[in-house]
A and B are shown apart, each in its own frame.
Chain A
């Protein structure tokens, strides 16, 4: 038993070291920075302050950005769930040959570069983009719809990018639903719809939850898509952090914001894990 554990420890050591050196250490090095006062010109300041954190709590600008980020995350998650569930259902129940093709189609967008996909959406959603031009040509609208530089644009782009994650998680959850349980519901007098809502949907609950947490955390921390589709004015947490570091060179503020975002993501993931364990464990 202990020998087995020793081997297990040995096996995860290489990846553990890489993560420690390349991920955890740099993050921890940023921690002191987030408590430094901001001095124009660079990160070489001395002394300690809580200002970088208090401004996030007190400044209405950050309230707006935080609210916007979480609204965006919630809407993206909900839409991914609504669009992804039927797709996952078809995929999980298809014949094996069809299933292979459908899986490939679902995963295919992941093979394309994020920037390329976001630019694709700009071509579609811009004021003189494909969508607006088509709608104007069809005389359905007089002036272009604002599809970019606002919540709509961000949500469209992120749903497209994050949908495969949701679908893959849901497919796994649906495959784990015992078909016999569904057949049993049928023989007990439940029609296909009742069977779905009383058996299939509740049994995929943990999967829906896991997929939602994944999509939510990925969407509130997404940078490239919000940057391209949100433009310079419509900002979320990730783009604000990026600008603090690279445009304003205000490293302390950027670091503080980054830690707040990380903390929120960690709390969500931890709470999700706790809830899932409570659901699945026998009391």
Chain B
């Protein structure tokens, strides 16, 4: 059995500071979830990048197929009214 058969691939999500959401940082190999956290700490947070780590097995993620891009995303292209850009925003509100 080779390492490739042995060690699963994990996707790593890092929260860089409180209040922000976890962001996908990359992927890595690990034999189980505990070790995946440790590996993620060593590979992705060496330079103070994070305060929280999530790992999830890559195979647990279902991805959309590029072939479906048209039916999934194209219909939103011509629906500008879904963007809330038609409102006058008073200056006092500031940046939204």
A and B physically associate: no
By a beta-carbon cutoff of 8 Å, the part of chain A in contact with chain B is none
By a beta-carbon cutoff of 8 Å, the part of chain B in contact with chain A is none
